[in-house]
């Protein structure tokens, strides 16, 4: 790749790229402004002109075809270009190669160019994309199942060796929840809700295709998902009402945290995912309590337990409403005082892991308060409906999005949004309504232990399917958000 000064701005070009075909091409700079890109078949070169006013010392761009699919992207092009005028006396070669969306190289790495006009095979593109999945996770996220199992073991040992800790946890209460647990639940939710980009909701709600995107998301997340989890819970746990109710509560909570990670690893639409998270965060305040009442009382016939609307609503307000308000205030307060870039690049990498600490702390205390050893068989049975749910929701959403002629980026975002669950909220409400020693709370705790490895595996599946399904469909792909 080369970056060269011109009168109208900075010309960015890439030689020896594979031919992207005859589709109209656009360079999208820093995820915002778009300029026309041109493919020169004789020179096997792709180029676009970046206007002077949009040149910065370091910028990122990607090439998009007429269907909205990302063909190539730069990892950090022209980061050595000085100043806003991009004043460069000579052409410079970027340190990073021009990268295909998915991780493969369009132009080769430091001289190892692809053969002119040669497009990567579907297998090669899928393999290249898959190799970057684990490297895209932080070491904390890579070992999340290990941390959860370790927290469970620590909790069991603490409850066995120091049984007096159970009484110490019940001294002060917030609602029906002990103060130490409440602090853990708030810590678990606050960073997650601070990270959500609520500012994108208004613009994308009014954009082209928004009705189809949000309509499909609503059906998958708030109609199909809860109904499927309830059916699976009854099919797998007909004789365990407490565990069954806990599984149902997990199915009602739509994911607003880990889905951002899965979507990024699977090369989904970051903008659409951010808006879906904001959309579901708001809807959970409104819908979680009435849907809990409907599925636990009406659909399940109030079997073995009576759940009132207000206890559930109060738990939602306490453990979702309070951290939601705190997250919004913290986010926009820091943006006003510092900047959005400072929030995303400096503050969230430090603040974000606090959610994991809150989750692990809550798991330790919960398992210390329960007699897990005598219920290990039932806990294993809880994993079955969750495992089936994650798989069915993912593939059903993926297939339905493809049938609706959505691009891969939109389809994978829809699939992971529908398949993921907000286990933090499910744990918080189960503890608030049924108590920390309840089977409902224990069942909700099993959720992340199953979800994390399954959805990580589905990231690989999505990247494997992309070149075999979407890229073969060609012109049938519709515009992504």
pLDDT (average), residues 186-203: 78
pLDDT of residue 476: 44
Is the pLDDT confidence value at 254 over 80? yes
pLDDT at 137: 56
C-alpha–C-alpha distance, residues 384 and 301, integer Å: 23
Cβ count near 156 (within 10 Å): 18
Q: What is the pLDDT of residue 82?
A: 35
Separation between Cα atoms, residue 333 and residue 419, nearest integer Å: 32
Q: Classify burial at 439, counting beta carbons within 10 Å of its beta carbon; exposed 0-12, middle 13-18, buried 19 or more.
A: buried
Rounded to the nearest integer, the mean pLDDT of the chain is 72
Q: Evaluate whether 86 touches 50 at the Cβ level (below 8 Å).
A: yes
Would you say residue 393 has pLDDT above 90? yes
Q: What is the average pLDDT across 369-383?
A: 79
The Cα–Cα gap between 188 and 323 comes to 9
pLDDT of residue 415: 93
Length of the chain: 481
* DSSP per-residue codes, 116-173: TTPPPPHHHHHHHHHHTTGGGS-HHHHTHHHHHHHHHHHHHHHHHH-TTHHHHTTSSE
Query: Per residue in 90-111, pLDDT tens?
Result: 233 333 333 333 333 333 333 3
* b/e 17-30 (16+ beta carbons within 10 angstroms → b): bbebeeeebbbbbe
Encode pLDDT of 300-339 as tens digits. 775 555 666 777 777 778 877 888 899 999 999 999 999 8
Give tens-digit pLDDT for 49-66: 655 555 544 445 667 765
Enumerate domains of the chain plus CATH numbers. 2-108 (2.60.40), 134-476 (1.20.1530.20)
Tell me which of 35-49, 124-138, 224-238, 442-456 is least confident: 124-138
Determine the average pLDDT of the residues in 275-285. 83
Q: Please state the pTM of the whole predicted model.
A: 0.63
As given in the structure block, the two tokens for residue 306 are: 């009576």
pLDDT at 103: 38
Q: Is the pLDDT of residue 41 over 80?
A: no
What's the pLDDT score for residue 5?
43
Looking at residue 187, its pLDDT comes to: 86
pLDDT of residue 47: 65
Which single residue is written with the structure tokens 């699939």?
A: 415
CA distance 219 to 212: 11
- Work out the burial of residue 479: count CB atoms within 10 Å of its CB; fewer than 13 is exposed, 13-18 middle, 19 or more buried: middle
pLDDT at residue 196 above 60?
A: yes
Q: At what angle do helices 258-265 and 439-465 cross, to 10 degrees?
A: 20
CB 408 within 8 A of CB 395: no
pLDDT band at residue 370, thresholds of 50, 70 and 90?
Answer: low
């Amino acid at each position: 790749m080369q970056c060269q000064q011109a009168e109208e701005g900075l010309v960015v070009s890439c030689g020896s790229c594979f031919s992207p075909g005859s589709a109209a091409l656009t360079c999208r700079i820093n995820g915002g402004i778009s300029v026309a890109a041109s493919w020169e078949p004789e020179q096997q070169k792709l180029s676009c002109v970046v206007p002077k006013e949009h040149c910065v010392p370091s910028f990122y761009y990607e090439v998009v075809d007429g269907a909205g699919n990302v063909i190539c992207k730069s990892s950090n092009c022209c980061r050595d270009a000085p100043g806003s005028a991009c004043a460069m006396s000579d052409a410079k070669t970027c340190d990073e190669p021009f990268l295909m969306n998915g991780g493969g190289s369009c132009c080769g790495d430091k001289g190892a160019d692809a053969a002119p006009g040669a497009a990567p095979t579907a297998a090669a593109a899928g393999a290249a994309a898959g190799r970057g999945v684990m490297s895209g996770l932080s070491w904390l996220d890579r070992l999340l199942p290990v941390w959860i199992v370790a927290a469970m073991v620590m909790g069991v040992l603490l409850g066995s060796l120091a049984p007096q800790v159970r009484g110490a946890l019940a001294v002060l209460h917030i609602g029906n929840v002990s103060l130490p647990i409440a602090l853990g639940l708030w810590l678990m939710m606050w960073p997650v809700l601070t990270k959500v980009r609520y500012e994108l909701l208004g613009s994308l709600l009014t954009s082209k295709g928004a009705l189809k995107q949000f309509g499909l998301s609503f059906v998958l997340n708030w109609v199909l998902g809860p109904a499927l989890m309830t059916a699976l819970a009854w099919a797998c746990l007909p004789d365990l009402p407490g565990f069954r109710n806990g599984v149902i509560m997990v199915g009602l909570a739509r994911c607003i945290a880990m889905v951002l990670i899965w979507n990024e690893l699977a090369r989904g639409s970051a903008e659409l995912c951010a808006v879906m998270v904001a959309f579901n965060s708001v809807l959970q305040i409104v819908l979680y309590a009435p849907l809990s009442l409907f599925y636990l009382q009406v659909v399940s016939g109030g079997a073995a337990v009576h759940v009132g609307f207000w206890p559930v609503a109060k738990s939602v307000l306490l453990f979702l409403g309070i951290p939601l308000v705190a997250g919004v205030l913290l986010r926009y307060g820091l943006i006003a005082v510092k900047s959005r870039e400072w929030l995303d690049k400096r503050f969230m990498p430090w603040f974000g892991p606090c959610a994991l600490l809150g989750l692990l702390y809550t798991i330790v205390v919960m398992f210390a308060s329960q007699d897990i050893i005598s219920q290990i068989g039932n806990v294993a049975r809880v994993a079955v409906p969750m495992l089936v749910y994650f798989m069915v929701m993912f593939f059903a959403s993926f297939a339905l999005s493809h049938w609706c002629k959505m691009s891969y980026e939109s389809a994978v975002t829809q699939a992971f949004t529908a398949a993921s669950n907000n286990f933090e909220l499910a744990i918080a409400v189960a503890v608030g309504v049924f108590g920390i020693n309840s089977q409902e709370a224990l069942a909700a705790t099993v959720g992340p232990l199953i979800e994390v490895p399954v959805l990580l595996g589905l990231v690989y599946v999505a990247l494997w399917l992309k070149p075999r399904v979407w890229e073969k469909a060609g012109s049938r792909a519709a515009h992504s958000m």
